[in-house]
Structure formats: structure tokens, C-alpha cells
Structure 1
Amino acid sequence: MLSVEAFSLTIMIASLAPLLGAFTLLFLFLFEKRIDLLEKQKREIALERELQTALYNQLNQEIQPHFFFNTLNSILSLARLDRKTELIRAIETLSKLLKFKYQTNTSFITIDEELTYVKYYLEIQKIRFRDRLYYECSIDPTINQAVTIPFLLQTFVENAFKHSFEKFIGEAFLKITIKKQDQEVYITVWNNTTESRDDQSHERGLGLENITKRLELLFPTGNTSVQLINTDGGTSVTAVFPFVLKTEI
């Protein structure tokens, strides 16, 4: 037979057990949240580091002197021909392009924001290449607010000019396709020149490698890939990553 003291102790233990269990679960929950937060912070730091690498490449390498000087010469020719309307539009577009490039300092942006910059770039290239350049965009409007990494599409487009159109004489045709399929975003840039393996330079490889790393950091649990292939009488590069709206990050 239990004594009064033993009975009281048993009742106390039985009463406290659920509380101790609840506190243990709460502690484990908070500990898990802390681990998740540390992992997120670690991923954000890595993303920021890779973004700075991309920014360096963009600001110091991708805006090449010959692109800049050729653009200025094209603008100068508009001034000499007294084509004032086109001249004003060209200067405004170049200003917007440079402003966007120097002000982009976040780990991710929306597809719509990236497209805005790319359109500025293509307008400038149209002034340079004139009737030689044709381009078209096929964009799924439902993914405009999906997130992507800065300079993904821009790098693909710039590579088409730098490694293809500026090296080969003839018609320059560029096609941008952005679509959603099975909760994934597909961004493809195709141009009508077929590159040899030697043409797919080390510099281009580094740019695509940086994009691959940043996609993996931004979407650590999702399917991401970057593929460059010769196809359909030309060269295409495609990036695949999860469909995530900006409001969900």
C-alpha cells in the first residue's frame, strides 16, 4: 500500500509528465526552426557571394568596350543624320540600361523585371545591327511575377551577340521563349548560328556555371539545370527552375 507521500509524488509526476513532454516538443520545435534559420542565412550569404561574382562579370566584362563604343557610334550617326526622335529614344534606352545594371543588387528579381532590362538591351542592339537583326519573344504572361536570379536571361542574350552575331556575317535572328510546365519555369534563348566546340569559350562556360550555382542556391530543394546545345540550325541555351512567385519568398 502506497504511503500518502508516495501517492502524492505519483500524482505530481503524472500531472507534470504532459507538461514536460510539451516543453520538450516546444524546445525541439524551436531548435529545428533555429537550424532552418541558420541554413537559410547560410544560403542567403552564398547567394549574395555568387551575385557579387555575377555583378562583377556584368559590370567589368559583359559591357565590353566595343559594344559601348559601337553603340555610341550608332547614336552619333543618328545625330549626324538629324534623326532626332530616334536619337532621343536611343539615349534614353542606353541610360535606362546602364541604370538597371548598376542598381541591381538583390539575390532575386521577377521575370518581368529581368525582361524589362533585356528589352532595353535589345533596343540598343537593334540600333547597332539595324535590318540585320530580328528578334521575337514568346512569354507566358502567367509567370511574370515568378522569381529568377538577376542577369540569367540577360547573360543568355548577351552571349548570343558576343559569341555568335558579332563573329558571323549575315542575318541575326534571336528568339526568347519563357514558359511554365509542370510547376517549373523554362527560359530558352535560341539564335540562328551553330557554334563549334571551340566557339563555346571558357568565358561563356564560367557565366553559365555561375548561373547554375545561383539557381541551386535560390532553389535548394527544386529541380534546376542549365543546358547549352546546338539544335534546329542554331544554338540554344535553356534554364529550368521551380515556379515560385515573389510573394512566396
Structure 2
Amino acid sequence: MLLSYNAFTIFVVVAIFAPLVGAISLLVVLAFEKQIDGLTFEKQQVQMEKELQESEYMQLNQQIQPHFLFNTMNLMLGLARLDRKETLVQVMEALSHYLKFKYQVKEPLIPLEKEWAYTQSYIQIQKIRFQNRLDVNLDIDPEVQSALLPPYLIQTLVENSFKHGLEKKPGELLLELKADLFKENVRITVSDNGLGIGKLTKNDIFQKGHGLPNIKRRLELLYDESSIDITPKVSGGTIITILLPKITEDHEEV
């Protein structure tokens, strides 16, 4: 049976274009699979980067400065030599609370109220160390007590004030801590009347030491928007101010 001209034409067209259509379809499928593989790889990279950041963040959280521990041990030795047992017990209790918190807290964020209580253990030791020379003013707004923040943040700021500002200053020492709500952000301010920052710039300070660079890096890992500001006081000393989003227990910004 002979094919008609029209049927033969259709057969030829199909014979020519069918492989082409198949080849195009195969290319589309391969391209789609490649895109899926690319998206999967990209997702894996994002997840890996996130895990690395979380690991880095937790390592930063667990950093402990030996400076304070050495000073506290020397204080305890001095009290023991002077047979001031009651005061020695107070220092040991405060240090025990300090270390217990330091090594038990694993959460990336904790309530400000908890961090505040932990910081006071540190301050209690410093009060015993400097006795009547040290005056501490604490002011926490009830509006921010339940706000979440990185652990050891306030304590690190206070430790920085002592290490770089107050320890080597003769005479009366003043430390002021304040936490309040500022334009829907949590504002933490630590002020001292220590030796000040001299001619150092903000960048100079972040390139030296461990405390403030540690805080800066943790804030960068946690928040899209946060700030840490360092300014000298006219009367002598330093003011450090941190702004970070107010986050509730359900980790939602308010």
C-alpha cells in the first residue's frame, strides 16, 4: 500500500523532528536535574555555614579570661593569710556561682535577668577586693528583664571596665550599669571612672584584647542589626553602649 503525499510528508517531518524534540527534552531534563543538584548543594552550603557559625558562636561563649581568676585566687590567698575566714567564704561562694554559671549555660540566648544575677557574683568579688574604694550603681528596667541576650555579655563588659579602666586607677572607683528599652531595642550601658581609652580609636580597641572583639563577633553572628559604641567620658573614664533587638522567649522580635 503506497503512502499518499501528505502522509509521506508527515512521516518525514516526524522522522526529522522527533529525535530533535527528544534531544531537547533530554537537555531540559538534564538542566533541571543540574539546577536541583545546584540548589541542593547551595542548601547544604548554607546549612554547613550555619553550623560553623553556631559552633564559632558557642566557642566564643565559652571563652573565659584567666585575668579575673588569677586576681580572685590572689584575693583568696590574701584573705587566708589574714585569717579572714568569713570574707574568704563569701569570695568562694561568689566564685562558685560564677564558675557554675560559666560552664553550665549552653543556650545561645538567656534572659537578661539571669545574666544580671550572674554578673552580680562577679561584682561581689570585686567589691570585696576593692572594699570601700568601689561604688557600684545598678539600674535595670523591668521592661527588659525577660529580654533574651547572649550569655556573659554584661559580665564581659564589666570585666573589661575593671581590667582596662578601674584596676590601675588610684582613689575612688565608680561603676555604673544600666539596662533599659530604647526605641524598641535593648540598651545596655556600662560606665566607669577609670583611666579611659586615651587616644585609642574604636577600631584600635576591637583589634586588641579579647573581651570587646568577642562581643562584637557574637553580635554579628546573632543579629542583622546591633551596635556597640565606645566613648570617653568628659570627667574621665569610658562609656560602652550596646543596642540589640528585643527578643522574647519565643525568639520573636517585638
Q: Aligned pair 1:226/2:231, yes or no? A: no
Deviation, structure 1 residue 203: 6.9
Maintained 8 Å contact 1:43/1:217: no
Alpha-carbon offset, residue 88 of structure 1:
3.3
Matched, 1:241 2:244: yes
Q: Deviations over 1:212-233 (max 9, x none)?
A: 221232223xx20111110242
Instruction: Give the conservation status (yes or no) of the 8 Å contact 2:60–2:218.
Output: no
C-alpha root-mean-square deviation of aligned residues, in Å? 2.8
* Distance of 2:147 and 2:46 partners within structure 1: 23
Deviates more, 1:99-108 or 1:203-212: 203-212
**Matched positions, count:** 208
Q: Distance in 2 between matches of 1:41 and 1:179?
A: 36
Unaligned runs of 5+ in 2: 1-38
Secondary structure of 1:197 counterpart: coil
Query: Displacement of 1:169 after TM fit?
Result: 1.1
What CA distance in whole angstroms lies between the structure 2 residues aligned with 1:128 and 1:40? 47
Percentage of matched positions with identical amino acids: 31
Could you tell me which residue of structure 2 aligns to residue 63 of structure 1? Answer: 68
Q: For residues 125-159 of structure 1, what are the alpha-carbon distances to aligned partners after superposition, in whole Å with 9 as ceiling and x for unaligned?
A: 11100001110111101211111111111111001
Aligned partners of 1:44, 1:146: CA distance in 2, in Å? Answer: 25
Q: How does 1:7-156 map to 2 (within 5 A)?
A: 42-43=49-50, 45-56=52-63, 58=64, 60-65=65-70, 67-76=71-80, 80-81=83-84, 84=86, 86-156=87-157
Structure 1 pair 150–183 and aligned structure 2 pair: CA distance change class (3 A): same
What is the CA-CA distance between 1:239 and the residue it aligns to?
0.8
How far 1:248 sits from its partner (Å)? 2.8
Correspondence list, 1:164-203, <5 A: 164-193=165-194, 194-197=196-199
- TM-score normalised to structure 2 length: 0.71
CA distance in 1, matches of 2:176, 2:230: 15
Residue 154 of structure 1 aligns to a residue whose secondary structure is helix
**Structure 2: distance between partners of 1:117 and 1:102:** 12
> 5+ unaligned residues in a row in structure 1: which ranges?
1-30
CA distance in 2, matches of 1:41, 1:47: 10
Pair 1:211-2:215 in alignment:
yes
Cα shift at 1:64: 4.3
Alpha-carbon distance in structure 2 between the residues aligned to 1:185 and 1:53: 21
Contact 1:212–1:226 under 8 Å retained in 2: yes
Deviation of 1:91 (Å):
2.2
Deviations 1:106-131 (A, max 9, x none): 21111111111100000011110000
SS in 1 for 2:59: helix
Larger Cα Rg: Structure 1 or Structure 2?
Answer: 2
Residue 47 of structure 1: how far off its partner (Å): 3.4
